[in-house]
Amino acid sequence: MISTCFERSSHPTARIGRWPDPLRDDQNARVLVIDDSSDIRYLLDFFLRSASIDVDLVGDGLAAMRWIDDRSPPDLVLLDRMLPTVSGERILGAMRSREEWAAVPVVFVSALATSSDVATGLSLGASAYVTKPFVPIEVVRLIGELLAGELARTDRVPDRAVTVQ
């Protein structure tokens, strides 16, 4: 059962492929998924683990803020913009204000899908933006590109938006 607190996923999955991990030769990449929908968390967990990515799951904004305060940063964060208790935008701001979290790529995953929503999300410092509904394997591909540095975040506002339906 998913609680509103953070959790370590143990969902069993089969391997569907693997891309080279440029961050560490001896470990898998680690992705933090922050979304209040248990269906979205489990879907992303399944596909990310199938691609040999370690996954941590958080179910609400307050738990995400505690995670940022208490844990070391992951290699990448998938973040819903509309969360209970604390918005994804505030969470992103908290990440960017902490030195150890500032360079972590953050991908907004949101039902807010207008061009204005996407532009706002990217201007807030997201590395990419994925609109719901999405094709999970495309999200895995995007994460692979981000982790490989192909879409590495720089001091400029990112210009990458992904709309997969």
The predicted model gives 141-146 an average pLDDT of 92
Higher pLDDT, 162 or 148: 148
Q: Can you give the pLDDT at residue 27?
A: 57
Mean pLDDT over each residue of the chain, to the nearest integer: 81
Beta bridge partners of 78: 33, 107
- Reported for 123-129, long-range contacts at CB under 8 A and 24+ positions apart, including other chains, are 123/157, 124/89, 124/92, 124/93, 125/92, 125/93, 125/96, 125/153, 125/157, 126/79, 126/92, 126/158, 127/151, 127/153, 127/158, 127/160, 128/158, 128/160, 128/161, 128/162, 129/160, 129/161, 129/162
Residue 106 pLDDT: 97
Q: pTM of the full predicted structure?
A: 0.78
- pLDDT for residue 148: 85
pLDDT band at 14 (very low <50, low <70, confident <90, very high): very low
Helix 38-50 to helix 136-147 angle (10° resolution) is 60
Using the predicted structure, report yes or no on whether residue 6 has a pLDDT greater than 90.
no
pLDDT digits (tens, 9 = 90+) for 48-77: 999 999 999 999 999 999 999 999 999 999
What pLDDT is recorded for position 13? Answer: 38
**What is the pLDDT at residue 28?**
79
Report residue 25's pLDDT band, with 50, 70 and 90 as the boundaries: very low
